[in-house]
Structure 1
Amino acid sequence: MEHENMSAALTVGVPAATVFAVLADPTSHAAIDGTGWVRNAADQAPLAEVGQIFRMDMYHVNHPDGDYRTANKVIVLDPPHAIAWLTGVEKDDGRLEFGGWFWRYDLRPLGPSGTEVTLTYDWSAVPPAVRERIQFPPFGPDHLVNSLRHLADLVFAKSSA
């Protein structure tokens, strides 16, 4: 891949604030995930500030343990326009280590009841030692499209309830 990031966009027929609220709720991330790797939110508090850590229980068939947990650090929180987090792990001694990749959602309001959502996965800061163990990107662009479709389904369901 020429660039060290990839993005996908989708327009949803709900206000940006509704989309943002779903993205800021870690308990919704398993339903949004386009790979099926995200299982549960270990930390269920809404994402409310830059620097906040939230953990997700994961599963990947090629992970040495199968089941594992990520520790994610909020790096952008600009309601209802943008939210992003770095993904890493928490070591046995409690130290957090981030791998250099992040997820970012940018929301562009399109009137009172529409939002263009752009999802970006960026691995440009992944150090060589991590690249020796993990191939980047670890999934294709279809993962981003699937995630956006899942997000759209979820926000429609929540806004119709």
Structure 2
Amino acid sequence: MTTDANAEQTDQLAVRRTIAASPQTVFGVLADPAQHAAIDGTGWVRDPRSSGPITAVGDVFEMDMFHPNVGGDYVMRNEVVAFDPPSAIAWLPIGQGPDGQWAPGGWQWRYDLAPSGDGTQVTLTYDWSDVPQFLRDNIPFPPFPVSHLENSLANLDALATGSKR
């Protein structure tokens, strides 16, 4: 696994891992919001509010979330901004503000997949380059260490290969 050493300077964290499963298998896990809580390396993602797999750019899926710093339970909408089976999938989280309005926070989750030997090289990128200053003034970015992304790829590995973590 490799980690982008310039992550904080570029407003991105990126980690890579080779998973002993086909790109189609790995992509299938990522395209199923019901698997996202099991993939999550932060422990914040809970159950999906949406059923069925992600199928296209523009799809929106909702997830129940939990974080003690935001008052506990909340809902996050996610708009799919990249969908290229079995090579790439990405979504832009959209949160509900105190005024009840939904707005993107400016961060994105992206998975890039490439065949590698008998498996798939997966690159997970967390990009917060579009986070507005008023959010940066109230939330430290990145809001978690790179180990959370590494944990996510380890969890994805276990789901895609059927191994235990």
Partners of 1:85 and 1:59 in 2: how far apart? 19
Counterpart of 2:126 in structure 1 is 121
One-letter amino acid of the structure 2 residue matched with residue 121 of structure 1: Y
Q: Mind listing any 5+ residue stretches in structure 2 that lack a counterpart?
A: 1-7
- Any residues of structure 2 matched to 1:35-114 within 5 Å, and which? 35-63=42-70, 65-90=71-96, 95-111=101-117, 113-114=118-119
Counterpart of 1:17 in structure 2 is 24
**Residues paired across the two proteins, number:** 156
One-letter amino acid of the structure 2 residue matched with residue 29 of structure 1: H
Q: Relative to 1, partners in 2 of residues 1:94 and 1:78: Cα closer, same or farther, differing over 3 Å?
A: farther
Q: Mind listing any 5+ residue stretches in structure 1 that lack a counterpart?
A: none
Partners of 1:26 and 1:56 in 2: how far apart? 8
One-letter amino acid of the structure 1 residue matched with residue 119 of structure 2: G
RMSD, aligned CA: 1.7
SS in 2 for 1:2: helix
Partners of 1:91 and 1:77 in 2: how far apart? 27
Partners of 2:138 and 2:19 in 1: how far apart? 37
Partners of 2:108 and 2:83 in 1: how far apart? 13
One-letter amino acid of the structure 1 residue matched with residue 82 of structure 2: V
Partners of 2:159 and 2:146 in 1: how far apart? 20
Residue 146, structure 1, aligned to residue 154, structure 2: no
SS in 2 for 1:58: strand
Same amino acid, percent of matched pairs: 51
TM-score between the two structures when normalised by the length of structure 1:
0.91
Counterpart of 2:10 in structure 1 is 3
How far residue 93 of structure 1 moved from its aligned partner, in angstroms, is 8.7
Partners of 1:56 and 1:132 in 2: how far apart? 25
Partners of 1:45 and 1:107 in 2: how far apart? 21
Partners of 1:94 and 1:52 in 2: how far apart? 21
Partners of 2:57 and 2:24 in 1: how far apart? 18
How far residue 96 of structure 1 moved from its aligned partner, in angstroms, is 3.0
Residue 155, structure 1, aligned to residue 134, structure 2: no
How far residue 29 of structure 1 moved from its aligned partner, in angstroms, is 0.2
How far residue 157 of structure 1 moved from its aligned partner, in angstroms, is 1.2
